[in-house]
Amino acid sequence: MEHELDRTRPIWRQIAEIVTERIASGTYPVGSRVPPVVELSAEFGVATSTVQKAFLHLKQEGTLRGEVGLGTFVSAPPERTGR
């Protein structure tokens, strides 16, 4: 799955938006493990640190949670915004 990212906007924010959309659509259901950082960085053609920044943002929002040694999981459905 290839994505055309807008290089004029922060890439990590776009990746966070895509992950949020996938959660909302049920691609990544609540409680499920999301793909590893390395897999997503290969999918988007970006550095792992870029995906890690997106994950950190989503963890701070409460959308994702990390489990040491197990991975990153969907902890809550994304908040609906008026956008």
Domains of the chain: 11-74 (1.10.10.10)
Write out pLDDT tens, residues 38-71. Answer: 999 999 999 999 999 999 999 999 999 999 999 9
pLDDT at residue 83 in the model: 47
CA–CA gap between residue 83 and residue 80 (Å, rounded): 9
Residues of the chain above pLDDT 70, percent: 88
CA–CA gap between residue 29 and residue 55 (Å, rounded): 16
> Do 56 and 73 contact (CB within 8 A), yes or no?
no
pLDDT band at 3 (very low <50, low <70, confident <90, very high): confident
